[in-house]
Structure 1
Amino acid sequence: MPRPRKEARLRLRKDGDRKIWVIKDGSRYVRTGCFEEDVSGAEERFAEYLADKYEPPVSRSGADITGADVMLFYAKERVPKLANPSMEADFMTRLQLFWGAKALSEVKGSTCRAYAALRIAQGVKSATARRELETFRAAINFYVKEFTLPFRPTVELPAKSPPRERWLTRSEAARFIAAARARGNHHVARFILIGLYTGTRSNAIKTLQWTANTEGGWIDLEHGVFYRRGLEAIETNKRRPPVRIPERLLPHLRRWKRLDGIGKYVIHRDGKPMASLRKAWANSRKDAGLGIEVIPHTLRHTCATWGMQNGSEVWELAGYLGMSPKMLSDTYGHHHSDHQSGATRAISMRPGGR
């Protein structure tokens, strides 16, 4: 009796002096173009390979459709159009291990809680498990809408983590920048200054270039405008509107451009773009005497906090940061110079308005 054919899978194979990731599908070996250290790239190519092979089932029964069916269809039809396909592919790789063989009829509160508990036991944070389940929910909703199924499983999410409130004082920010420069981490110093004065998200800063391009944002020094996304980039819920460059940041940018000459990237090391600042960030942070709670997103919190403390109009600051006025007020409203000023005056007044 012949052995059953194994499903397609990733494996390492020698290629000269190095190892590369290939997809083994039966007797076929398909090259991914990714070396051993590029695991995420190999997983993304694998997801694309599976999506290209995939044909969705026509059944309208929740017992006949699996999580793998849903995620493969989502990976093929929707993920390539999202702002960060590689991140979604990574989430689905994790989801596939738990949900792939399960039917949609098994998606309910108890199994969602079991998935979250498993991921937390594996060492990830509750917020990460929540984000992965949000991707699974989006895949299910996309599938249900596409095939007009008569049911929609409910994906239960872990509770949201409380918002981070850590922000830097001006003296802390100055120490951080000085520490980065003292270590020779000038790319980190640039990153900090841009984050503090524009509140731009980490990925958008790392891909920033000196000229207009399709990969990421760019700096228009002539007109003093900071474009946060590439010419063909898809706008997402995490909005990245163009903004005027603050007066305190503009001289820094002009000086960096003179130093970089014909260089392409604003944040770079020896002209090469930075995929990660993790080690340099951690070392500079430690030298500055700051705790591990200070992460790149702290710069966005700091920008919003400084703006509110200085009495900025909520709608104007929200537009600058690319968030809704409600989110700004809910998260940072207590920092505003006028926060509850009317209430405190009323409480302090004596009867009769004195």
Structure 2
Amino acid sequence: MRWLRIEKGYSDGYARRVLGVGKSALNRAWKRGEIAQVPFVELPKGGEAYPHYASREQIVRLLNTDMPEHIWAYFLVRLCTACRGDAARDLQVFQLDRSARLVRLNPPGRAQTKKYRPTVPLLPALAAYVDQMKPASYVVNWHGRRVASIKTSWRKIRVRAALPVWFVPKTMRHTLATWLRQRGVPAWEVSGLLGHHAAGTTDVYAKFDPKYLGEARAALAAIIEDLARDVPKLRDLLADGVSVGSVAATNDNGKTPEGLAVTPLRVVGGTGFEPVTPTMSR
């Protein structure tokens, strides 16, 4: 710890992360029978939460910066879902449930970890982007293949966008969480959107409730619509989103084959298109 703090100049939070990796490796080796015993590794207390969040002007500048298409898709996914970077890079087209208007960030067969991947609302901008992208399994892809990392491209983009050194890709997630709370979205909805708590057995079915994360959905869509006023690519996606507002096939009674009523998009004041939610109808 002294070496990490004094010689390397790391914060307690980063030192905890380094020691945690070593501790996990030792435990894994013991579990596999590669070593006879494991020393006790005491981790330091967790550091302060990531303190930075971006301004609207910085996010607009980032989204308007010239960047490769797969990087644009990466930030669009993170903007529309508030997910972590690995979940954005792992996202496949089949994980978008059009009939339920949901994005299942954790694909079938993948075990959940401490960094829980929740099911979140599918917003019109992301649905429209996937509709117009070239056929591929992954939403964020390089010539159809999954993107392993964006680090090299990110360094160039950050400089090109004139963003501060502390602005890293995860700043998008922290910024959205901050903006949602500033808009009065309940803490439990923000927590659910970010995957800060795992769902119980009963909660497995909660996502099929039409009001599921309703306030978070409405606020996040409003944030995207506000940004779209100064981000042409977002504005174009929202315009295309009108055609995908009814995301489920319906019968003559306006219901899906499962009997669920379909909620179309509507124009909300001067902000653009937004799914009608219980919050907005009040």
TM-score, normalised to structure 1, is 0.48
Q: Does 1:196 align with 2:79?
A: yes
Q: Could you tell me how far apart the structure 1 residues matched to 2:118 and 2:166 are? A: 27
What are the residue-to-residue correspondences of 1:170-249 with 2, within 5 Å? Answer: 170-179=56-65, 182-183=66-67, 185-211=68-94, 218-246=95-123
Q: Could you tell me how far apart the structure 2 residues matched to 1:144 and 1:190 are? A: 41
Partner SS, residue 172 of structure 1: helix
Q: Report if aligned partners of 2:11, 2:47 keep a CA contact under 8 Å in 1.
A: no
Q: Report if aligned partners of 2:13, 2:46 keep a CA contact under 8 Å in 1.
A: yes
Partner SS, residue 316 of structure 1: helix
Offset of 1:243 from its aligned partner? Answer: 1.1
Offset of 1:176 from its aligned partner? Answer: 0.4
**CA deviation digits over 1:193-232, x for unaligned, max 9?**
2212321011110111112xxxxxx222343211111201
Q: Does 1:167 align with 2:50?
A: no
What are the residue-to-residue correspondences of 1:245-260 with 2, within 5 Å? Answer: 245-246=122-123, 250-260=124-134
Aligned counterpart for 2:139 among listed residues 251, 266, 271? 266
Q: Report if aligned partners of 2:77, 2:126 keep a CA contact under 8 Å in 1.
A: no
Q: Report if aligned partners of 1:224, 1:245 keep a CA contact under 8 Å in 2.
A: yes
Letter in 1 for 2:92: Q
Offset of 1:170 from its aligned partner? Answer: 2.2
Partner SS, residue 133 of structure 2: helix
Q: Which runs of 5+ in 1 are unaligned?
A: 1-112, 212-217, 326-354
Q: Could you tell me how far apart the structure 2 residues matched to 1:275 and 1:152 are? A: 32
Q: Could you tell me how far apart the structure 1 residues matched to 2:19 and 2:41 are? A: 7
Change (3 A) 1:140 1:191: closer
What are the residue-to-residue correspondences of 1:56-71 with 2, within 5 Å? Answer: none
Q: Could you tell me how far apart the structure 2 residues matched to 1:197 and 1:305 are? A: 15
Q: Does 1:307 align with 2:190?
A: no
Q: Could you tell me how far apart the structure 2 residues matched to 1:207 and 1:191 are? A: 10
Partner SS, residue 243 of structure 1: strand
Offset of 1:269 from its aligned partner? Answer: 2.4
Query: Which protein has greater RCO, CA pairs closer than 8 Å, 6+ apart?
Result: 2
Q: Could you tell me how far apart the structure 1 residues matched to 2:32 and 2:143 are? A: 48
Letter in 1 for 2:97: D
Q: Which runs of 5+ in 2 are unaligned?
A: 199-282
Q: Could you tell me how far apart the structure 1 residues matched to 2:110 and 2:15 are? A: 27
Letter in 2 for 1:197: C
Aligned counterpart for 1:156 among listed residues 38, 42, 54? 42
Change (3 A) 1:178 1:122: same
Q: Does 1:323 align with 2:200?
A: no
Q: Does 1:289 align with 2:166?
A: no
Partner SS, residue 282 of structure 1: helix
Offset of 1:160 from its aligned partner? Answer: 3.1
Q: Report if aligned partners of 1:226, 1:244 keep a CA contact under 8 Å in 2.
A: yes
Letter in 2 for 1:253: A
Offset of 1:158 from its aligned partner? Answer: 4.0
Offset of 1:308 from its aligned partner? Answer: 0.3
Change (3 A) 1:243 1:163: same
Q: Report if aligned partners of 2:4, 2:15 keep a CA contact under 8 Å in 1.
A: no
Partner SS, residue 96 of structure 2: strand
Q: Could you tell me how far apart the structure 2 residues matched to 1:303 and 1:153 are? A: 40
Aligned residues: 195
Letter in 1 for 2:41: V
Letter in 2 for 1:283: K
Identity percentage of aligned residues: 29
Change (3 A) 1:118 1:294: closer
Change (3 A) 1:306 1:232: same
Q: Could you tell me how far apart the structure 2 residues matched to 1:297 and 1:227 are? A: 20
Letter in 2 for 1:195: R
Greater C-alpha radius of gyration = 1
CA RMSD of aligned residues (A): 3.2
